Structure 1
Amino acid sequence: MCVVAVIVGVLAWRAMGMLTALFTNLVIALFISLMLEPMIAWLVRHRWKRGAATGVVMGGAFLAIVAMIAMFGTMFVTQVIELGKSVPQTYENIRTWASESFGAELPEKEKLLGQAIDGWGDDIASSALGIGSSLLGFIFAVMTIGLVVYYLCAAGPKFRAAICSWLAPRNQVTVLHLWEITQVKVSGFINSRLVLAFLSTAFTLVFLIILGIPYSLPLALFTGIVSQFVPTIGTYIGGALPVLLALAQSPMKALAVLVFIVVYQQIENYIFSPKISQKALEMNPAVAFVVVLAFGAVFGALGAFLALPVAATIQAVASTYLRRHELVDSAMLREHEPADGWKGTADPDDGVVRVPTIAADADGTGSPQAP
């Protein structure tokens, strides 16, 4: 029996490793279905059938994406092609500026091109084959996610009922409550990220156009999307490319773009993000930062992206089910009081705690009065 258990465990472990991509797609589909559920539920409450409501919501999202691509696609592709063509000249301008400003000699572009051809020339065929297989895999993953999302959303209460039918009534209440909390947190998180990405793209686009930076649309889209959907370091990655392109024109424009990115990040952190994400994720910023690092280290990029809604769900569940106790009376739990328990007199008008008065002893020395 021990040998059989070991063999079954090894086979199960290997099967889980082979099914990692499928599990990832299922997790993505689950979170997308949770994000779409509020809109579908709104249509169902207005006498729509769930299947039709699911089709309309998913179709509307698809048409919105297609419309965005049709609206900006031509200009985006054109600017990306021009950006690719201008890379050699951009590198040459940076090389000249580095030589004149700091005396640093960067390799010539012909030498770099030769090294790239030598390094990649033998792998062109295999790279093309890999790109083709990756494209097919991406299309298959998108179709898988779309089908799972549709079935999860179309099933709705039936899917939850199928899960709860295996549980005792008391556990059913708990599972449904957890499901509702997760749905609210995930939906709020994704929607807040989309709104913040739109705002970041719009403000960045306007600033780049005013400054006269070429390829402003793809740069603004890159900055907005990466800054919101790449955890922890997305802001720095998203802002690096516009700064680099501006540096090819002039150092002052690069400095202006850098200042804009830093200033806008502060405005987003202290004005936009608190107002948009306040109800979605009520979490200490330091805790959120550590959670993103931890989930990213354990589960990779997907874990880092889903870290905040998962952590917010856990926090909401803990605040609901864990018992809270009354606080003891201690100076450590109050502001403006010494840590050793001595109490001064506080003026409620200015909020300043006065130091205890000093009484003179017989020998002329002073000592604080007893608290």
Structure 2
Amino acid sequence: MDSAVPVDPAEPEPILTSAGPLILPDIPPAGATAVPASTATASSGAATPPGVAPGLPFGRPGRSMSNNPFVFGFTAALGVLTAWWLVQAVASASSVLILIVVSLFLAIGLNPAVEVLQRWNVPRVGAITVVFLGVILVFVVFGLAVVPPLTAQSTQFVDQLPQYVQELQNNPLIRDLDQRFQLLEKLQQYVTSGDFGTQMFGGVLGIGSVLIGAVFNSLTVLVLTLYFLGSLKSLKKMAYRLVPRSRRTRATLLGDQIIDSIGGYVAGNLIISLIAGVTTFIFLSIMQVPYALALALIVALTDLIPLVGAFIGAGVASLVGFFVSPTVGIVCLVFFTIYQQIENYWIAPTVMKSSVDVPPLATIVGALLGGALLGVVGALLGIPLVAAILLILREVVLPRQERA
């Protein structure tokens, strides 16, 4: 039975190199007299080549370059180039990243509806299917309500275009300007030339490409939302596992609260927009404004945009009312002004009371900053992100500052 060989703790461990273990020269203990290298070599009987240190077949290692200015500068430049490359990569993929963020935001917002159906003993797959079909139904209804009026009005405008030109020719002011500057003649030459056809064809292609891009982005968002909605629980578990075990419980509670806040904000905003759309449809139907359903859907969709969305929808509906008659337009302006006050001071606080607890100043700042950074998408995401930041400050940062 082999006996364990005692190891001297004072003996240094050899350094492994490509030529084998590097034997360091013996360091005499404190109080001992150092033996010259020539004497040690002679006693061991090993011949050392001239110019080579004993035990170092490839020569003595040089001084470390960790503090070399060249190495420091090269490393710093490499870091700057890497950061610049990452920024360029993010900027190039910004459109795709926005679609992913919007899809995840919608999935988190639709998750409360899925959980409500699950509490009614509906399987999660069935609940997701029902909610997703409801979203698709909203898009279909919006398309059926908006596209036919636009097509009809465009056709009517093209049919009445010669009449509009004749009215312009009969106008004394236009006739005087035409006699002085030959406006109609120049307009006719421009239309009959090839430049107008080229620009018109290019404009049609541009509009077509925009429409195709919008349809493609909408389908991409719908598909990603479906995938995120189906795998939301697994995504949350994976994200929480990235947190150290000692802090995982607290991070899970905070993360669930943030997700619930975002879902509550989306659900509350959808309820407010639904109330605005239904109220607008009833009012426009009573006032006999044409395309009341299409205008009500536009008001409901624009009402989702913080700060300015309600004014956009009200402006479009009131403009159509002025085409009916000046009286109807003024009545529309008065109605939307009164309704916005009711929504801002009664409907919105009541609906959002239990979902997102954000001070009014933080809401305005979040919407403005989000709109400045990412446009409409940023304005939509700004308020729930501000709610998440305030929650982290209240539950993590401020208690830590009090203990310090």
Matching of residue 295 in structure 1 with residue 365 in structure 2: no
* Residue 196 (structure 1) shift: 1.5
Q: Is the 8 A contact 1:25 1:144 kept in 2?
A: yes
Structure 1 match to 2:204 = 128
Which range moved further: 261-270 or 159-168? 159-168
Percent identity over the alignment?
24
Q: What letter matches 1:258 in structure 2?
A: L
Say which SS state the counterpart of residue 281 (structure 1) adopts: coil
Q: Is the 8 A contact 2:265 2:352 kept in 1?
A: yes
Structure 2 match to 1:165 = 241
Gaps of at least 5 residues in structure 2 are: 1-74, 172-176
Structure 2 match to 1:240 = 315
* Residue 168 (structure 1) shift: 1.0
Say which SS state the counterpart of residue 301 (structure 1) adopts: helix
* Residue 51 (structure 1) shift: 4.5
* Residue 161 (structure 1) shift: 2.4
Matching of residue 174 in structure 1 with residue 244 in structure 2: no
Matching of residue 194 in structure 1 with residue 270 in structure 2: yes
Listed as ranges, the matches of 1:1-371 within 5 Å are 1-42=75-116, 50-51=124-125, 53-63=127-137, 65-66=139-140, 68=141, 73=144, 76-84=146-154, 122-226=198-302, 228-323=303-398
Q: 1:133 to 1:178 in 2, by over 3 A?
A: farther
Computing the radius of gyration from Cα coordinates, the structure with the larger value is 2
Name the TM-score, length of structure 1 as normaliser: 0.70
Q: 1:171 to 1:138 in 2, by over 3 A?
A: farther
Which range moved further: 301-310 or 123-132? 123-132
Q: Measure, in 2, the Cα distance between the counterparts of 1:199 and 1:272.
A: 9
Q: Measure, in 2, the Cα distance between the counterparts of 1:204 and 1:52.
A: 33
Q: 1:314-368, CA deviations, whole angstroms, 9 ceiling, x for partnerless residues?
A: 223333334479xxxxxxxxxxxxxxxxxxxxxxxxxxxxxxxxxxxxxxxxxxx
* Residue 263 (structure 1) shift: 0.7
* Residue 259 (structure 1) shift: 0.5
Gaps of at least 5 residues in structure 1 are: 100-106, 326-371
* Residue 310 (structure 1) shift: 1.2
Q: Measure, in 1, the Cα distance between the counterparts of 2:298 and 2:125.
A: 35
Q: What letter matches 1:132 in structure 2?
A: G
Q: What letter matches 2:329 in structure 1?
A: A
* Residue 76 (structure 1) shift: 4.3
Q: Measure, in 2, the Cα distance between the counterparts of 1:120 and 1:278.
A: 56
Q: Is the 8 A contact 1:296 1:303 kept in 2?
A: yes
* Residue 298 (structure 1) shift: 2.6
Q: Is the 8 A contact 1:80 1:218 kept in 2?
A: no
Q: 1:120 to 1:7 in 2, by over 3 A?
A: farther
Q: 1:284-315, CA deviations, whole angstroms, 9 ceiling, x for partnerless residues?
A: 32332232112212332211111111112222
Q: 1:96-153, CA deviations, whole angstroms, 9 ceiling, x for partnerless residues?
A: 9xx9xxxxxxx99x98xx6997997542322333333334433443343334333333
Q: Is the 8 A contact 2:243 2:251 kept in 1?
A: no
Q: Measure, in 1, the Cα distance between the counterparts of 2:237 and 2:220.
A: 23
Q: Measure, in 2, the Cα distance between the counterparts of 1:49 and 1:20.
A: 36
Say which SS state the counterpart of residue 108 (structure 2) adopts: helix
Which range moved further: 44-53 or 304-313? 44-53
Q: 1:219 to 1:53 in 2, by over 3 A?
A: closer
Paired residues in the alignment total 308
Q: Is the 8 A contact 1:79 1:215 kept in 2?
A: yes
Q: 1:147 to 1:213 in 2, by over 3 A?
A: closer
Q: Is the 8 A contact 2:109 2:262 kept in 1?
A: yes
Q: 1:53 to 1:294 in 2, by over 3 A?
A: same
Q: 1:256 to 1:276 in 2, by over 3 A?
A: same
Q: 1:54 to 1:271 in 2, by over 3 A?
A: same
Structure 1 match to 2:21 = none
Q: 1:81 to 1:49 in 2, by over 3 A?
A: closer
RMSD: 3.7
Name the TM-score, length of structure 2 as normaliser: 0.65
Say which SS state the counterpart of residue 261 (structure 2) adopts: helix
Q: Is the 8 A contact 2:109 2:263 kept in 1?
A: yes
* Residue 256 (structure 1) shift: 0.9
Q: Is the 8 A contact 2:306 2:380 kept in 1?
A: yes
Q: Is the 8 A contact 1:188 1:280 kept in 2?
A: yes
* Residue 170 (structure 1) shift: 2.9
Q: Measure, in 1, the Cα distance between the counterparts of 2:271 and 2:311.
A: 19
Q: Measure, in 2, the Cα distance between the counterparts of 1:233 and 1:151.
A: 31
Q: 1:187-240, CA deviations, whole angstroms, 9 ceiling, x for partnerless residues?
A: 1111122222221122112222222222222222222221x1222112221111
* Residue 262 (structure 1) shift: 0.4
Q: Is the 8 A contact 2:362 2:386 kept in 1?
A: no
